[in-house]
């Protein structure tokens, strides 16, 4: 191992064979391992026969722990950061620590490995040339629907984490907001015995999951394909609905201009339709 540093070390998301040899080396060589849950990580340490002491760094004590970790680093001792599974900092604690360590002028060295959303996406069959990782949707249905609505027209693949308690409700909200025909994928229990990756239009995916309670157990990544942009030279039902509302109050010219702004459809087309409907 090189200089004194905070090593951000990825650990497996299920299958222990996904632990990298470099991760084992680093965890053996640092002075201390900052772990999200020391009891959970003790099992990983035992499996790889790593004897390095563990200290806890979680959501509730991360700020206090920063000082202690900076002390180790200023004494020339390296520290590793791990989480319960996958890459620390990704929907896991560590951001506050990493930023503080960098600001204090110490090196932060990533030791890459598993990330659940990359693992899911690469096998989903959904487009991955552009995607965004959106983390966990809100727990309450109203906020979750709003959260999905804000992302409804994004043109790239969207990737979410979801808990087993909410997977069915979340998928139901998704089908409602993104529409039953939008393609989506569920990746469950990745790298584990019951790994399942299923890709289908949202309505089908929902039926498939609702029909089998086993498919609602475990850990999940949800993915949905991006929106297909509406062609600007094609009128659809939604555009005509908007136009009719405007025509009830405004002139043909004003209605078609506003409808063009709202829908993104060409003004000329809307003007023609407005003339026919007024």
Name the residues that contact ligand SAM, by CB under 6 A: 13-14, 83, 85-87, 90-92, 115-117, 161-163, 187, 189-192, 219-221
Complex with ligand SAM: residue 6 or 274, whichever CB lies closer: 6
Number of Cβ within 10 Å of residue 95's Cβ equals 12
For ligand SAM, the closer CB: 189 or 244 = 189
DSSP 3-state of 162: strand
CB nearer to ligand SAM: give 82 or 265: 82
**Residue 110 Cβ vs ligand SAM, minimum distance, rounded to whole Å:** 12
Question: Closest CB to ligand SAM among 4 and 91?
Answer: 91
Q: Nearest residue by C-beta to ligand SAM? A: 86
CB of 62 to ligand SAM, least distance (A): 14
φ, ψ dihedrals at 159, nearest 5°: -125, 130
Closer CB to ligand SAM, residue 165 or residue 241?
165
| Helix or strand (DSSP H, E) at 117 | helix 116-122
**Smallest separation, CB 164 to ligand SAM (Å):** 8
Question: What's phi and psi for 115, nearest 5 deg?
Answer: -135, 130
Distance CA 24, CA 2 (A): 15
Closest separation in Å from C-beta 72 to ligand SAM: 23
Least distance from ligand SAM to the Cβ atom of residue 252, Å: 51
Q: Which is nearer to ligand SAM, 92 or 244 (CB)?
A: 92
Cβ 196 to ligand SAM shortest distance, Å: 10
Angstrom distance (rounded) from CA 72 to CA 74:
6
What b/e readout covers 188-221, taking b as 16+ CB neighbours within 10 angstroms?
Answer: bbbbeeeebbbbebbebbbeebeeeeebbebbbb
Length of the chain: 278
| Contact assessment for residue 95 and residue 89, using Cβ atoms and an 8 Å cutoff | yes
- List, as one string, the DSSP characters of 21-36: HHHHHHHHHSSEEEES
């Amino acid at each position: 191992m090189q200089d004194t540093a905070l090593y951000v070390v990825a650990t497996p998301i299920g299958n222990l064979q996904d632990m990298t040899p470099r991760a084992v080396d680093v965890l053996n060589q640092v002075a201390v391992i900052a772990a999200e849950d020391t009891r959970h990580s003790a099992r990983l340490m035992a499996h790889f026969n790593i004897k390095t002491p563990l200290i806890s760094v979680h959501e509730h004590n991360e700020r206090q722990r920063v000082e202690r970790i900076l002390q180790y680093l200023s004494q020339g001792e390296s520290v590793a950061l791990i989480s319960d599974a996958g890459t620390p900092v990704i929907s896991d604690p560590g951001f506050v620590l990493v930023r503080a360590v960098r600001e204090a002028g110490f090196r932060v060295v990533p030791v890459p490995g598993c990330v659940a959303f990359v693992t899911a996406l690469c096998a989903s069959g959904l487009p991955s040339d552009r995607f965004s990782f959106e983390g966990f949707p809100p727990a309450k249905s109203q906020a979750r629907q709003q959260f999905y609505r804000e992302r409804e027209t994004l043109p790239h693949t969207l990737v979410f984490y979801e808990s087993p308690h909410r997977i069915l409700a979340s998928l139901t909200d998704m089908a409602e907001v993104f529409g039953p025909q939008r393609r989506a994928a569920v990746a469950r229990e990745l790298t584990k015995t019951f790994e399942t990756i299923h890709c289908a239009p949202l309505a089908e995916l929902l039926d498939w999951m609702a029909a089998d309670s086993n498919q609602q157990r475990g850990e999940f990544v949800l993915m949905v394909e991006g929106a297909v942009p509406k062609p600007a030279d094609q009128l659809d039902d939604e555009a005509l609905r908007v136009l009719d509302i405007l025509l009830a109050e405004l002139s043909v010219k004003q209605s078609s201009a506003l409808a063009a702004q709202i829908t993104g459809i060409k003004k000329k087309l809307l003007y023609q339709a407005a003339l026919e409907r007024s």
